[in-house]
Amino acid sequence: MNYRNSQRLMWGLFIVSFILLAVGYNKNEMIFLVLGTLCTIAGILQAVIFYRCPYCYKSLMDCRDGIQKYCPHCGNELK
Ligand SMILES: [Zn+2]
């Protein structure tokens, strides 16, 4: 998996977990709260593993402005 797919997956899982947590909170259903928490953890874990520069393999998690054109660590162009 490349870093772009990893970023999409991370946001997808965050949205799903937000919905699950909102439903679980409103209906007081523990299973939704547990699933929502697991989705959040899965989103972060896969990003830690896959959301990396394809050249230097350093994490892009600290790029707060989203994906930039160049890696902040090695300066290579991110395609
Ligand atoms: Zn790099």
Instruction: Provide the residue ranges of all domains of the chain, joining segments of one domain with +.
Output: 1-79
What's the rounded mean pLDDT across residues 16-45? Answer: 97
**Residues that place a CB less than 5 A from ion ligand 1:** 53, 55-56, 71, 73-74
The whole model's pTM is what? 0.83
Give the tokens for residue 54.
């394809």
CA–CA distance, 17 with 44 (Å, rounded to integer)? 12
Q: Which of 10-19, 31-40, 53-62, 65-74 has the lowest mean pLDDT?
A: 65-74
Spatial CB neighbours of 46, under 8 Å, sequence gap ≥ 6: 1, 6, 9, 10, 13
What's the rounded mean pLDDT across residues 21-30? Answer: 96
**Ligand 1 centroid from CA 57, angstroms:** 6
Does the pLDDT value for residue 68 go beyond 90?
no
